[in-house]
Each structure stands twice: as structure tokens, then as C-alpha cells.
Structure 1
Amino acid sequence: MNELTDLFRIPLLLLNKAIFIYFIAICCFYLLLFLLSYNRLGKQRGLHKVEPYKRMKNSSFTPPLSIIVPAYNEEMGVIGTILSLITGSGRLDYPQFEVIVVNDGSKDRTLQKVIERFQMVPVKNKVHQKRNGIETKSIREVYHSEIYPFLILIDKENGGKADALNAGINMSKYPYFASIDGDTVLDPDSFLKIMMPIVEHADDEILATGGNVLIANGNTVVKGQVQETKLSRNPLVMMQCIEYMRAFLMGRIGLSRNNLLLVISGAFGVFKTQRVIQAGGYKADTVGEDMELVVRLHRMNIEQKWGARIEYVADPICYTEAPESMKYLYRQRTRWHRGLFESLWTHRRMMFNKKYGLIGFIAMPFYFFVEFLGPLVEFFGYVTLIADLIMDRVFIQYALMLFALMVVYGSFLSMGAVLLEEWRLGKYQKISELNWLLLYALSEAFWYRPLLTVWRVRATFAVLFGRTQGWGEMQRKGVSA
């Protein structure tokens, strides 16, 4: 045993030190993002309560909007999503918009439910051509609603989410389009808020804006509107609530400050239609179509000197249904990780390329070394921790410091995000729910983070060995009554 220990002493020592330095750097970077987010949110705190965005409703500078809802096997959630856009007191508080639902060859009753609920009839004497020229799978039929004239339904052959979005872009007629998921529920003033940077900075070009996404599970949702915010008691859902807070409030706010944001969630984002068409629409052969499009827009913005920006707006809120089982959470996270790699690989020439400025030297390396390679480094951290314990506690001091850093990196940053979100919005009415979130945030490093790490490492090896993955099916229970 001593000979084996001596053999691995130097390599293990070097690996321990390298991983330790890596996590120190990551913790410092995330602390900087946290401070930047706190500063920005502090200036905006309370704006969602006084609703200063309402003046946009009657402004002639507020551009009309096409809202595209791609749906594949979304029979449990799509009706609630559409209702949150078009009906009752929850109807979007926006001056002019159209809603384009794209049924991407669903195998369930998504198409039939939308047709029946909204009295959809085929559009007569209309040739199904590509208005905006993006290639897509064949369109079977186009419908319009007899009761809501601004509601359109496209039924097409299955081609994946990106292809469905492209079909919606082809049918859109307004200068900006929004992409939202089929299980998304919006606050009525969400689009007024997410469009504010575009209206406020009319002299500057905004290519895209992204909004804040929260978890719908556990909330009371009636006719597509959140009536009461409650916390799900499912441990996986609770951890996803915390994870979303950290990702959106810390990472995206901090990166967008200097136009470095490379991800706009497919659940809630707005894009300039003309520029997306120039870019060729969404890339259909990737599972990370939302990130890939944003990176491509950044690249074209620099190469063609558009002088435009991509913004993240923390105030707009939409709610999305989170996976409640290991099986579907695993599918989602491996798909996300693969999409991250595909986006970075497609645009790899931007990495450390001075032509692309801070995008090439900060944003791309961050997403590659932290978001993509981070799980591998963390996995080897767990391996070295176990090895140190097995080999007579030779490097136990490094192992304990590394574990402490993992706890700080995961749990305490998550706790900070929870407190920041509650300080900003005050969504949870019961102190017990906030306590549950803080308790689970503290436990993250002991079970949830290692779980995600193993899944993402598996996804990394799947990418390296060329295993393919499509849009995938997700089990939906539906969040709207």
C-alpha cells in the first residue's frame, strides 16, 4: 500500500492543487457576477410593483410582436399557455401582437385540443409558402381562430423545436418575435417589460432580449394565470427552483452588463425578426438551438459591424413546468449539456480570437471552461477526494479544502441567489417556504450537484463518442386548471 501511495503521490498532489485553484477562480468569478447582479437589481428593485412600463402600452414607439409557441406533445400545458396570452384578465397587456402556435407533428392530442378549444378553422385560398424564406419541414395545414383573429395554428411534419420555430418565423409579420415554450405561463405585463430595452433605446439596435424564468410546479394556476405562488415539496423541483434563481439572477444579469450573454432561454425570449432571417433562422441540426442562435447573432453583429446589443431583463417573469422525476430531469440536462457543446463547437473560431473582443476572451471561455468542462473538473474532484481517503489520508488537507470549496461554490452561492430573489420580488408569502429553500440550498453540494455532475459527465462522453440526441419527450402534468 505504501509503494502504491508513493507512486501516485506527486500526480495526486498536482491534481489536487489544480482542482483547488480552478475552484478558487470559479468562486471569485461567481462572486463578481453576484455583486454585479446585486448592484443592478438594487437600482431596479420595486419597479415591478409600481409598473412604470404601462406607459409603453399607448406609445407609438412600441413595436408589434409575433409570439411563436412551438409545441410537441404538449397537450397537458399548451392550452394554459395560449390562455395566458389571449383571454380574460390574464390577456397579455400589450398593444398589438399575434400568436402563432406551431404543432410539430405531435403524437398526442395537442393539435386536436387547440383546434377544439379555440375554434380553429383552415385558412382558405392561402398558399403555404415561406414568407420569410427559411427552409422547414412540410406544412400540412394553417388554421386561424374564429373567436381570436390574432391566433394562428400551424400543423407541420415533425422536424424538431428549431424547425418549428423557423416555421413560425416564416409566418410572422411583425418586426420582433418572441419564442416561448408550450408549457410556459406568463404574467400579463411580461412582454411590456421584456420589450422595454427595445423601446427605451430606440436609437440603438437590440438584437434580442431574455427574461426571467421561474418554476410553475406547486403554484396555483387558473386559466393560464398564476393566482398564488407556492413551493412544491418535491425535492427535485425545489432544487430546480434554486438553480433557476442562481442561473438567471446571477449569471445572466452579470454577463449581459457588458453584452456578453450567450444564452437566452427558449422558454422566454424576444428576437429581431429581420436579423434572425439574415442569420438563416434557428439551426435545425442541434439540440441547443436557442444558445446557438444567440452566439451566431453575436458573431454576425461583430463581423458585419451592426453595433447592436443583446440584453437580459430581470423583471419580466414567466413560469415553466419543471421535470419531477429523475428520468425526465436526466433527459433535460443531458440535452442541455450537449446543446452547449454543439454551440461552442460550431463557433469555436471565436474562442480567444481578438476579432471578437470580450465575447472571444471572456464569454466563450467562460461557457467552455466553466459550464462545459466544469462538471469534468468537479467529477475528478470527487474522485481525488475518495482516493485521498483510501490512500491512508495522504492528502486529506487538500481533500477537505476542496470539499469546502465545493460547498461554498454550490450551496452558499445558491443561498445568496434565493435571498436576492426574495429581496427583489417577495414572491413567497410564508416564511416557512423561504426556510425550505435555504435548507435545500445548503444541501445542494451533498446530493443534487453530484447528481448533475455525473449526468453531465455522461453527456460529455456521449458527445465525444458521437451519440445523437433529438428534442426528446418530456412528461407534462400540466400546471393550469
Structure 2
Amino acid sequence: MLAYIAAVLLFYTALFAVSFRKLRRERGLKPIRYGDVLQSAFAPPLTIIVPAYNEETGIVSSVRSLLGINYREFELVVVNDGSRDSTLETMIAAFDMREVRHKINWTRLGRPTMPIRAVYYSLRHPNLFLIDKENGGKADALNAGIQLSRYPYFVSLDGDTVLDPDAFLKVMKPIVEAKPGEDIIASGGSVGIANGSDIASGYLREDGVRLSRNPFVVMQVIEYFRAFLMGRIGMSRLNLLLIVSGAFGVFRKDWVIEAGGYETNTVGEDMELIVRLHRLVKERKSKARIVYVPDPVCWTEAPETANVLYRQRTRWHRGLYECLRAHRAMLFNPRYGGIGFVAMPYYVFVELLGPLIELLGYVLVAWGLWLGDVNVRYAALLAACMALYGSLLSMGAVLLEEWGFRKYKRPADLNRLFVFAMTESFWYRPLMTVWRFWGLVQALGRKKHGWGDMTRSASVLNRPGSGNDFPG
């Protein structure tokens, strides 16, 4: 147990050091001029794919905001995934859409999608298309959008994502500025939490970032800082990144098609695709990379109640299990290099099995106390050290955000973040441990669980819908 804890602490400390070094090196550089990316002749055209399920009330405003994004050349593909409301009719009427008559190749991915009913194009906006298909879930809708797309890169976008004004420029910057011979096949950026912030017309105002007063939301903000600014910066530097957020990510289409598109029989389709792309890279002996952009590119709503947060975390853990189980042959396999010996073991033994080991520790301590076999002073000292380390790690993540990006400018927000970071080990982490453990139990039980409903607050986002709203 001590050896396991020591290894985890060393790994987290190393990731923090890598992130600190990278942000310190970039802090003194000139401000990034995203207009250069916009004007660059090397900026490839994009296809933006938006799955939609029962979004009649907000689909029009969502599409209008996306049609006005700050990017040179793009097309927008909305996929109506068997909505039971009038999403289809609303789109057709609002954008004066007509059915496409010519034949389309729907077999490029090598895996069938649910039947396509029709494809429409807009007479008002030549770059707007609509696919109407039978319900198959978010991954199936994305696969349909990929096969209709015309451009070499596509963006998968959740319907509830609130965009940064330069979101597409930020996420495409590593691809545009890649060195000769450097092949970047996927790029993702930081995802912020929008609860409590000022949002208008689908965009978050530059000075509108506010911290919610909900304790669950505040802890998720800190959690996101730690996951994105520490974990993903370090993993990306070593080309070991196994997750590009499903809320907003850009992919090179030819690689995704060769990999077979999104897996439809998992709730963790975003991570599973990234792992499959890494697998393909290693098997082709390519030097292609999957990168992470530290700048916040989009914002999403976080759960505000314990019940909704519980469903989200058990679902995430089931998706993690399904992905790792499907690609278990990569674990400690020399063929896959650092992915097999660093990334996969980390996700198996720390992320997947960590809750089980942590709960086992709680049980052993309680059992030992009951039998009188525990040195109470020594145990209390170890517990205090672990709580202090966890709190310092969370506070360090907040410090990295403030030092590198300063999205939360109000002193009151920063003070609240630091205070809550110090309390994490005493209530939030044990709660997450229990919920993640239960997600593992559900996954091992092989019982099919749906996505569940992500209850949205109308006061947070004015763009309805979510990948979480898809049934199945």
C-alpha cells in the first residue's frame, strides 16, 4: 500500500513539475496573435459536427451562433439523431433547407450507422447541412457526420458547449504551426465550467467568468484545473495523452476513418477513439501526435446536485473500464512504447483501480482500529500528510490557472477556490472515491446502463442539449 501511494505521489509531482515548467516558459512570450492563424494560408477548412436529440427549443440559436464563428472556411453539419420532437422541422423552416438528391457514400468508416432518412442543405447558408437519421446515440450521429463531411479536419462539438470567441483558432493553432514532418492528428483544449458566469448568444464574455457559490461546482472547477493544467499538459508533452474532451476536439478525418470512427457500444467513445488512434500510430510506426492546448477553448455546465454528479461520475468510470478492457492488449506491450508502459498502467492502476485501493485502505484502517492493531498516532500522522499533500496539489492547480491564464479575476473567487482546495480531502475526494468505485462495480456487472439525464439549469446555459441527453 505504501509503495503504491509513493508511486502515485511521485507521478503527480512529476506532472505538476512538467506543467509548471511549460507555463513558466510560455508566460514571458508575446501574447498569442490568433488573427495570424485566421489569415494563415495553412489553416485547413473545418467540418463542425453537432449531434442533436430533441433540441427544438434551442437548435436555431445554437446553429446561428456557430455560423458566426471566427474561422476562415468551415461547414456545419447538424445530425438529427431520431429526435421525437420537431427539431427536424424547426431546422428546415428556420434555414430554408432542401433535400439533397445526389447519392452519398455512407460506407467510408467500415461500420454501418443507423439508417439515414434524408440529407438537407440550406439555401441561405451554403455551408450548412442537416442529416436526418434514426436514433443511434451520440457516437453513431458523429459517425454519420464524418461520412458527410467534405473537409480534412472535423470538430466534434457537444450541443451545450459555450465557445470561447477564438476557440477554433486556439485548437487549430498547433496544426497550423506544425513543423515540416510533424503530423498532428488530434487537438483538444481546456474545458472550463460555465456555472455562475455571464453568457450571451452562445459565448462567454471575456470579463464574464464568475465562480458559482455551489460547493459541488467549486470543487469541480478545482478538479478540472488539476486534470487539464497538470495531467494533460504533462501527458501531451510526452505524446501520451489518452483523452481529448468530447465537449470540443478537432481530428484529422483520414486517420479517424482508417481507425473506424467512433465506437457505438461504449459510453466513453471520446477516450476510446483517442486510444485507438494511438494504437494505429504505433502499429503504423508513425510519429503522428495528439496534442493538448492549455488555453481554455470552451465552457460547459457542471452538475449542481449530488444526484446528477453521481450519475456523471459512475458513467465516466464505466466508460473508462470499457475503453481499457477493449484495449487491454496494449498494457505493458513493448510495441506501444510509452502508451503501453506509462499511460495505460496509469489509467488502469490509478484511475480505474484507485477507488478500490483507496476504499480498501479505509476498511483496513477501520478494521485495525477495531482490533486495536493500529498505532493511532502514526496513522493520524500519515492521514494528515496525505490530506496536506492533496490540498497542496489542488491549491497548486489553482495557482497554475491564476499564474497562466487569470480567468477568475475577482479576489473573492480566488479566495473561495483556495479555501475549498484545502477542504477537498475531507469530503469531496471520499465521495468521489465511493461513486467511482460503484461505477466500477456497475461495469464489472456487465449490466447495460444508459447515459442518464443531465439536468440543465436555464440560468447557466442558453444553448440547450448535451451529449449526455442522448438515450442509450
2:422 matched to 1:442?
Answer: yes
Instruction: Please show how residues 446-461 of structure 1 align to structure 2 within 5 Å.
Output: 446-461=426-441
**Structure 2 partner of 1:45:** 27
Equivalent residue number for residue 11 of structure 1: none
In structure 2, the partner of 1:70 is 51
Q: Structure 1: how far apart are the matches of 2:102 and 2:378?
A: 69
* CA-CA distance at 1:29 after TM superposition: 0.8
- Cα distance, 1:100 vs. partner? 1.4
Query: In the alignment, is the contact (CA less than 8 A) between 2:56 and 2:87 conserved in 1?
Result: yes
Shift of 1:362: 0.5
Aligned to 2:3: 21
**Contact 1:209 1:310 (8 Å CA) reproduced:** yes
**Counterpart position of 2:200:** 222
CA contact (8 A) 1:82 1:224 kept: no
Counterparts of residues 282-431 of structure 1 (less than 5 Å): 282-392=262-372, 394-431=374-411
Q: Is residue 192–residue 296 contact of structure 2 (8 Å, CA) maintained in 1?
A: no
Q: Give the partner amino acid of 1:86.
A: L
Q: Aligned Cα RMSD in Å?
A: 2.1
CA pair 407-122 structure 1, distance change in 2 beyond 3 A: farther
Contact 2:143 2:261 survives alignment (8 Å): yes
Query: Unpaired runs of 5+ in structure 1?
Result: 1-17
- Per the alignment, residue 189 of structure 2 pairs with 211
Larger mean CA deviation between 410-419 and 280-289 belongs to 410-419
d(CA) in 1 for partners of 2:386, 2:50 = 38
Q: Tell whether the 8 Å contact from 2:157 to 2:246 is kept in structure 1 after alignment.
A: yes
Q: Is the 8 A contact 1:132 1:169 kept in 2?
A: no
CA 1:72 to 1:399, structure 2 compared with 1: closer, same or farther past 3 Å? Answer: farther
- In structure 2, do the counterparts of structure 1 residues 136 and 352 end up closer, same or farther at CA, with 3 Å as the change threshold? same
Following the alignment from structure 1 to structure 2, what is the Cα–Cα distance between the partners of residues 96 and 112?
A: 27
1:30 corresponds to which of 5, 12, 18: 12
Task: Work out which of the residue numbers 89, 93, 104 in structure 1 matches 2:81.
Answer: 104
Q: Is the 8 A contact 1:73 1:473 kept in 2?
A: no
Q: Secondary structure at the match of 1:103?
A: strand
Match of 2:219 in 1: 239
SS at match of 1:447: helix
2:270 aligned counterpart, secondary structure: helix
Q: Which residue of 1 aligns with 2:468?
A: none
Supply the distance in 2 between the matched residues of 1:104 and 1:395 (Cα, whole angstroms).
59
Distance 1:348 1:356 in 2: 12
- For 1:71 and 1:124, the matched residues in 2 are separated by 19
Deviation, 1:108, is 5.0
Q: Percent identity?
A: 55
- Quote the offset at 1:155 in angstroms: 2.4
Cα distance in 2 for residues equivalent to 1:211 and 1:96: 20
What residue is the counterpart of 2:165 in the other structure? 188
Instruction: Quickly say closer, same or farther: Cα 1:239–1:272, change in 2 above 3 A.
Output: same
Q: Which amino acid aligns with 1:209?
A: S
C-alpha distance 457-80 of structure 1, shift in aligned 2 (>3 A): farther
Shift of 1:236: 1.2
AA partner of residue 183 (structure 1): D
| Cα deviations by residue, 1:129-178 (Å, 9 ceiling, x for unpaired) | 41734421112332333433322222222211111110110111100111
Change (3 A) 1:74 1:339: farther
Matched, 1:152 2:116: no
Q: State the alpha-carbon separation in 2 of the partners of residues 78 and 449 from structure 1.
A: 37
Mapped partners of 1:294, 1:398: distance in 2? 43
By how many angstroms is 1:291 displaced? 0.7
Per-residue deviation, 1:54: 1.6
Q: Distance in 1 between matches of 2:58 and 2:194?
A: 11
Q: Assess if the C-alpha contact under 8 Å between 2:100 and 2:118 holds in 1.
A: no
Change (3 A) 1:37 1:390: same
What's the CA shift for 1:356?
1.0
Per the alignment, in what secondary structure is the counterpart of residue 143 of structure 1? strand
Superposition deviation, residue 34 in structure 1:
0.7
TM-score by length of 2: 0.91
SS at 2:51's partner residue?
strand
Please list the CA deviations of residues 27-52 of structure 1 after superposition, one character each: whole Å capped at 9, or x if unmatched. Answer: 211111011011112222376x8332
Q: 1:93 to 1:44 in 2, by over 3 A?
A: farther
**8 Å CA contact retained: 1:209, 1:264:** yes
In 1, are the aligned partners of 2:37 and 2:43 still within 8 Å (CA)? yes
Is the 2:170–2:297 contact (alpha carbons within 8 Å) kept by the matching residues of 1? Answer: no
What amino acid is aligned across from residue 101 of structure 2 in structure 1? N
Residues 85, 188 of structure 1: 8 Å contact kept: no
How many angstroms does 1:113 deviate by?
Answer: 5.1
Please state how far the C-alpha of 1:406 moved relative to its aligned partner: 3.8
What amino acid is the match of 1:184? T
TM-score by length of 1: 0.89
Q: What is the total number of aligned residue pairs between the two structures?
A: 457
Displacement of 1:391:
3.1
Cα offset for 1:385? 3.1
Aligned to 1:132: 108
- For 2:412, which of 427, 432, 445 is the aligned residue? 432
Structure 2: segments with no counterpart, 5+ residues: 464-472
The one-letter amino acid of 2:426's match is F
DSSP 3-state at the match of 2:83? coil
Compute the displacement of 1:229 (Å): 0.9
- Out of 144, 147, 166, the position equivalent to 2:143 is 166
Quote the residue 2:251 is aligned against.
271
